[in-house]
Copies of this chain bind each other. A is one copy, B any other.
Amino acid sequence: MAGEKGKAERKSSIKDVAELAGVSVSTVSYAISGRRPISVEKKQCITEAMQKLHYQPNAIARSLASKRTHIIALLFPPVEHGIGISETELIIQAARSATAQGYHLVIWTLQTDEEAELLQLIQQELVDGVILMEVHTADRRIGILKRFGIPFILMGRDAEIPAEPFIDIDFFATMMQCISYLKGLGHRHLVFINQSKQSYCSGYGPVVRVHEAFTYLCRNFDMDGTELFCDSNPVQTCAVTEAFLADHSATSAFVVMNDKALPGLIRGVEKRGLRIPEDISIVSIVSSEGAAAFFLPQITTFEMDIHALMDAVITQLTARLDGRYAELTRRLFPCILRERQSIAALNRE
């Protein structure tokens, strides 16, 4: 069943290369790693032999000998706050960046409370390092990782600032740019549609951070701001929007950190006979093109820079693993404005 293809192309090892090149295996090994000078002639022979044999070092043997697997794990627990469009891009980008750094990425879908399972996985010593997503306050996983002494990095943080290295979105800066932007366009009466009240109460990092930022910044920018919590139920979001607008006719702009609330919001605005963006402006923050560009009107966003985010995560972690100097241990990335059709300047009123 295995050798049915005829040309089985027997996999060649470093020994084969050594023989063909007429040198010892260690010479080949050093020629590959470059950890020892090799004469040009021998180097030449070895290179030729490798090409002739289509030699590719065996990853497992290499790992066993070097005690480094060049594999990192992405801990991706089932997200309670609903899965968005950008998660895929996050994972893919992580894998891409890992490849660029000479690493493989494995996905572990453990829940945040499966400590024993995590410990087992770590102890198998399959991975050199770990990326933790969806970090909770007092996340038990962190203790495990520290105790075992395996390098790791947090992607996102909980409401409290962790003692460990992390990379996250800069919610405060994003909200500041957003409010500043709206103020520049003449808006004074804002509504912020956050995620569910439940997320907030459970201390989910993004939700509480952005809540605080909005409250603080409205005061500082002298804006009239109201925060509304919405879950993913569109009829409720629509009703809430409508009710609010009925009582607050001065409202001219909505800031949203809840992509799934967008249809309900848009509908609610329209039901009041208001137009977007002429009467009401909408901006979706911590969003993505895939989540906002196909609405009508197309929604202006502050989008996360997934590439920068994940690349920083991977670079940081692999730098530590490779013993290279790792400058930044905590970094915040603001979202980037992508103007579309849901925002207008306020003329009078």
Contacts and interface: CB of A to CB of B under 8 A. Distances in A.
Nearest to A117: B99
Given A264-B296, A293-B232, A294-B232, A107 B124 contact: no
Interface in A135-178: 146-149
A278 interface: no
Contacts of A78: 92
B60 A11 contact: no
A203 interface: no
A263 interface: yes
Interface in A1-59: 2-5, 7-9, 11, 54, 56-59
A105 B126 CA distance: 12
A117 to B, nearest CB: 9
A91 interface: yes
A96 interface: yes
Interface residues of A, number: 65
A201 interface: no
Interface in A52-97: 54, 56-61, 63-64, 69, 71, 76, 78, 82-85, 87-89, 91-92, 95-96
B123 A56 contact: yes
Contact of A2 (B108, B149, B294): B149
Give this chain's copy count. Answer: 2
A19 B232 CA distance: 58
Given A96-B109, A106-B105, A295 B83 contact: no
A273 interface: no
Contacts of A260: 294
Interface in A285-318: 290, 293-296, 298
B9 A235 contact: no
A277 interface: no
A71 B96 CA distance: 18
A5 B147 contact: yes
Contacts of A87: 88
A165 B111 CA distance: 33
A88 B146 CA distance: 29
A338 interface: no
Nearest to A5: B149
Contacts of A295: 234, 263
A234 B106 contact: no
Which 10 A-B residue pairs are closest in the complex by CB-CB distance? A56-B123, A59-B124, A95-B107, A87-B88, A59-B126, A260-B294, A234-B296, A88-B88, A267-B296, A60-B63
